[in-house]
Amino acid sequence: MQQISPPHSLEAEMGLLSACLYKPELLGKAVVELQEEDFYDERHRLLFSALKSLYSESGVLDAAILLEHLKKRDILEKVGGIPYLSEIFDRVRGTISLALFEQYLKIVKDKSIKRGIINTFSETVRLAYEDELDSDTLLDRAEKEIFDMRMRTIRGTQWIPVGEIAMNLLNKLEARVSGELPHEAVPTGFRHLDEITGGFRPGEWIIVAARPSVGKTAFVLNVHRNMALSGIPTAMFSLEMSAEAIAMRMLSMESGIPMYNLREGRIGPKDLPRLADAVERIMEMPFYIDITHGIDIFEIRSKARMVVKEYGVKMISVDYLQLMDLKGLRARNMTRAEELAKISRSLKILAGELNVSIVGISQVSREVEKRADKKPTMADLRESGALEQDADIILLLYRPGRYDKDVDETLVEVDVAKNRQGALGTVKLHFYAERMRFVDWEEEDESIEELEGDSMPF
């Protein structure tokens, strides 16, 4: 049987090395994106290493300097000798375009990643046949290596003149003013919150945090609902609640029938038309839910890519972060705070990669309850300061009526504690907990009442 060679391109490797010799400035770009192991041919690995060493020492490269370097280290013959070096020197014949160099670079990197995939799965198959490791360990190992390879595909840098960036931004702003370009940010549906944040922008990593029973999941569900009613597709990973529990919240939210009545079946004939209307509206919502419990970061990444590609979602939420599993990213003796830091960074990277906003629901430390001032701060984000560091927006929810009977029990304060793209501030909302509904706090009428029966405002 004929043996199949792993993916490689000797021509691209030779062309890349030749280009680096004639234009040393190109070597700087190659060093950022490639390592010696990315070259299939051992001779090319040695040559790339030699070029890196010479360039770091003096920043000067040519054939004579390289030849002397190889002779001194007694590796001239290992790289093919003078005949093979001459072939590489002549590969581009002294002329090389940036476009051609980048094509060589892309090919070498692509072949290297494919070989890495082959090696990873070949080794996984071998270990599976040996049957000494459990399946979870094997999957963790494969997932980690695949994740590392994925990170390599977005590695690299590109320097852009700030003037070019400013001109592109001006063009976008002019197009937006003229109505030719839609706003990238998606509104939350809460007017005062959108005035501060500008909505949720593509690529943003957003944290919504509060103590238990404050309404953080209900708040995020209301954001999903508001976006869906505006025709904006969204998706949610629910790591805690069942599909039926979410559907019941949505039904209560949409129909105005209290959750308790739905849960206990305390509904009458007059409620059925309202429920039917609510179901009809919900069925039209572009809102997609995944209820896989115990999901890990790799599965979330994979499913997020699919739902963005298939349904064009603009926002993804995860309820909630402390229930996520690190699995393949876990290292020995890693604390939960360190695990959560890796999860946070991975979701932030995913938001940028998919160009969507990702909302993570998080617990707030119980230490808040021991203070005189129960209002949470960013320092109270449970288990990890990385959430505070990574997030683009942090929203902290607080219900003062839980601690002060003189305060309207429906009041929820949403503290915009961090906002990379804009202002900070606190927004007031009404939270009608029985019906899972958040509505704007109308400053001109702060006595919004819950109305019963057919006169309910929902």
Based on the residue annotation, tell me whether 174 is a catalytic residue of this protein.
no
- Of the residues 33, 102, 123, 240, which is catalytic? 240
Can you tell me the distance from the alpha carbon of 441 to that of 445, in angstroms, rounded to the nearest whole number?
A: 8
**CA triple 197-198-199, angle to 5 deg:** 85
Over its C-alpha atoms, the chain yields an Rg (Å, rounded) of 29
Q: Which residue has the tokens 């601690």?
A: 403
- Spatial CA neighbour of 54 closest among 34, 68, 35, 42: 68
Can you tell me the distance from the alpha carbon of 442 to that of 429, in angstroms, rounded to the nearest whole number?
A: 8
Can you tell me the distance from the alpha carbon of 157 to that of 57, in angstroms, rounded to the nearest whole number?
A: 22
Can you tell me the distance from the alpha carbon of 357 to that of 211, in angstroms, rounded to the nearest whole number?
A: 23
Task: Please check whether residue 440 is in contact with residue 192, taking contact to mean a CB–CB distance below 8 angstroms.
Answer: yes
The one-letter amino acid at 255: S
Task: Please check whether residue 209 is in contact with residue 395, taking contact to mean a CB–CB distance below 8 angstroms.
Answer: yes
Q: Is 413 helix (H, G, I), strand (E, B) or coil?
A: strand
Task: Please check whether residue 402 is in contact with residue 217, taking contact to mean a CB–CB distance below 8 angstroms.
Answer: no
Can you tell me the distance from the alpha carbon of 383 to that of 424, in angstroms, rounded to the nearest whole number?
A: 24
The residues assigned a catalytic role are: 240
